[in-house]
Structure 1
Amino acid sequence: MLQLDPSEISEVIENGGVIAYPTEAVYGLGCDPDNDVAIGKLLELKRRPWQKGLILVASDYSQLAPYLDESQLTRKQLESVFSKWPGPFTFIMPVRPDISKLLCGSFNSLAVRVSAHPGIQAICNKLGKPLVSTSANITGQKPAMSVDDVIAQFEGVIAGVASGALGLEASPSTIIDAISGKVIR
């Protein structure tokens, strides 16, 4: 399986490909959040029902803003979100009505994170937008913790793996509802 640098990754993603990449705690699968064909391919590879929705990761909030409906959030709620970013915190936030249902699933919200992981930041900066993020595993299997784990599940069906190392988090990101402040995971 090919090891890809950020410029190669952006080309693959812009052409509708799916890649694996290291995140804060596990390897993720990613694609262009504005390409429903690519999202559908990712969901099929993972065997994940579209109704569950996905996460978007970004290098800064401005990349996520076009997908979100900030008018449903108070200034205090937004300040709470911003106080935890960049970092291993995913927030469930209200979504714009024109966003693909493949991203938000059967919900009127979207899971989003501004990552501090240098690899994710490099990919998103090169793309100029967020990246779809879901753990690199077939639904029901353990998340990939190494390139070998990614190869075991996805060799020949994804374009490659971003070079870099996993972050130091022991578990996937904490998920928080931005409106209620409730910790979901």
Structure 2
Amino acid sequence: MQTEINKALQILKQGGLILYPTDTVWGIGCDATNPEAVKKVFELKQREDSKALICLVADDRMLNKYVKKVPEVAFNILDVADNPITIIYDDAQNLAENLIAEDHTIAIRIPNDDFCFQLLRRFNGAIVSTSANTSGQPTPKSFKEISPEVLKGVDYVVNLHREKICSKPSSIIKLGNDGKVQVIRK
């Protein structure tokens, strides 16, 4: 696993794209602070950059680096969540401008996955995580369902967990600084 982390880190630091297994589905990833890398993700997915992407962070400390004020209830939700949950936060900061939504929100997940955790820790920053498909196409449930266009469009494919079948993408909730909670995807 360390070899794969090292290879992925090298690509991320060079502004490249990786294809990697997450705690949910296979993801296309890049340095979430690099606008050129984020632009490559939008181009590969053939997606308008007005549609925001999710990014992953290793822990609460890293979450606080990218959100001005994390509502206290977010930590309670993360503590009790049985399944992977992505939270959309107000007031994103320290990220590529083209990653932040027009309303200045950002979708962030702390993955429960050893490879992702170690990659994020070693990278010491947020990594984009968007499903490994082009816009409008179904989310691949396994590595073998990933299209040749996506496989060719990334700079490195992590050689781990290729046999794993993914159940489904994470749940998504929007958590406003005003305390309002909105379920986006169950």
Matched, 1:150 2:149: no
SS in 2 for 1:51: coil
Name the Cα RMSD after superposition.
Answer: 2.3
Query: Does the 8 Å CA contact 1:54/1:133 hold for their aligned counterparts?
Result: yes
Q: Please give the residue correspondences for 1:164-175 in structure 2 after superposition, counting only pairs within 5 Å.
A: 164-165=160-161, 170-175=167-172
Query: Does the 8 Å CA contact 1:64/1:129 hold for their aligned counterparts?
Result: no
TM-score normalised per structure 1 = 0.85
| 1:90-146 Cα deviation digits (max 9, x unpaired) | 001112466433112222211001110122112111201121011010101122333
CA change 1:10–1:97 in 2 (3 A) is closer
| Structure 1 gaps, min length 5 | none
Query: Does the 8 Å CA contact 2:142/2:166 hold for their aligned counterparts?
Result: no
Q: How many residues align?
A: 179
Q: Please give the residue correspondences for 1:34-49 in structure 2 after superposition, counting only pairs within 5 Å.
A: 34-49=33-48
Query: Does the 8 Å CA contact 1:87/1:114 hold for their aligned counterparts?
Result: no
Query: Does the 8 Å CA contact 2:141/2:166 hold for their aligned counterparts?
Result: no
Look up the match of 1:161. 157
TM-score normalised per structure 2 = 0.85
Look up the match of 1:9. 8
Runs of 4+ aligned structure 1 residues displaced above 6 Å come to none
Query: Quick one: which amino acid aligns to residue 45 of structure 1?
Result: L
Q: Percent identity?
A: 26
Query: Aligned-pair distance for 1:15?
Result: 0.1
State the distance in 1 between where 2:80 and 2:129 align.
19
Query: Aligned-pair distance for 1:174?
Result: 0.5
Larger RCO (CA within 8 A; separation ≥ 6): 1
Look up the match of 1:139. 135
Matched, 1:31 2:43: no
State the distance in 2 between where 1:127 and 1:98 align.
15
CA change 1:99–1:86 in 2 (3 A) is farther
SS in 1 for 2:87: strand
State the distance in 1 between where 2:80 and 2:116 align.
17
